[in-house]
Chain A
Amino acid sequence: SYELTQPPSVSVSPGQTARITCSGDALPKQYAYWYQQKPGQAPVLVIYKDSERPSGIPERFSGSSSGTTVTLTISGVQAEDEADYYCQSADSSGTSWVFGGGTKLTVL
């Protein structure tokens, strides 16, 4: 079955830039989506179609794609950005969707 691989954890100081990667063989063909989830809350979509930002999401959130890796970048990290982040995409057929294992972002 298809898998997306994320680092389990990333730590940054306030004001710095956090980069969270997600790797998968089908990412050159399929868009990636990123979600933020805080404890006890439903996930929130922060990036769609690799690099598009939904309305209401701060500009400090951005996404990029290169080959089999997509990256979520949070510039000028704030304490409120501390959360779990998940990437999502589909296999090469586009019919089986998966989430990455999630990355816990810690703001030091």
Chain B
Amino acid sequence: EVQLVESGGGLVQPGGSLRLSCAASGFTFSDHYMDWVRQAPGKGLEWVGRTRNKANSYTTEYAASVKGRFTISRDDSKNSLYLQMNSLKTEDTAVYYCASSAYSGSYYGLGYWGQGTLVTVSS
């Protein structure tokens, strides 16, 4: 069974930093593209960014709203995905989901999702 479990959320002051983790199991993590998606309270989904797999050189892409502040990384030896968030703003308050491409090798839509972790940016 595929499982994605996020951790690391919490309350942080504006300008602060936070690192989210996502532990994956039940599939060959190294073969899959991985995304972070967030959802502000009562709002829609917002794509945060992506890391591709080793075959595609672990390249990353980011939404304009987080580029230069957020960094996505992965450790295939630990089946883990990370999101380093710096210079946090109140508008970054959201539930953050890690999600995996439905099938290995390329992007086939986000077929597996974690339960999400809440990040609250407030003074």
| Chain A residues with a Cβ under 8 A of chain B | 1, 33, 35, 37, 42-45, 47-49, 52, 54, 84, 86, 88, 95-102
Cβ contact within 8 Å between A49 and B108: yes
B11 near A: Cβ within 8 Å? Answer: no
Kindly report which residue of chain A lies nearest to residue B111, judged by CB atoms: A45
Distance in angstroms from B75 CB to nearest chain A CB is 23
CA distance A99 to B61 in the complex (A): 15
Flag whether B63 is at the interface (Cβ < 8 A): yes
Main secondary structure of the interface of B (DSSP, over half): strand
Count the B residues whose beta carbon is within 8 Å of the partner chain — how many?
20
Residues in B lying within 8 Å of A, measured CB to CB: 35, 37, 44-47, 50, 61, 63-64, 97, 102, 108-111, 113-116
Which residue of chain B has the shortest Cβ distance to A47 in the bound complex? B109
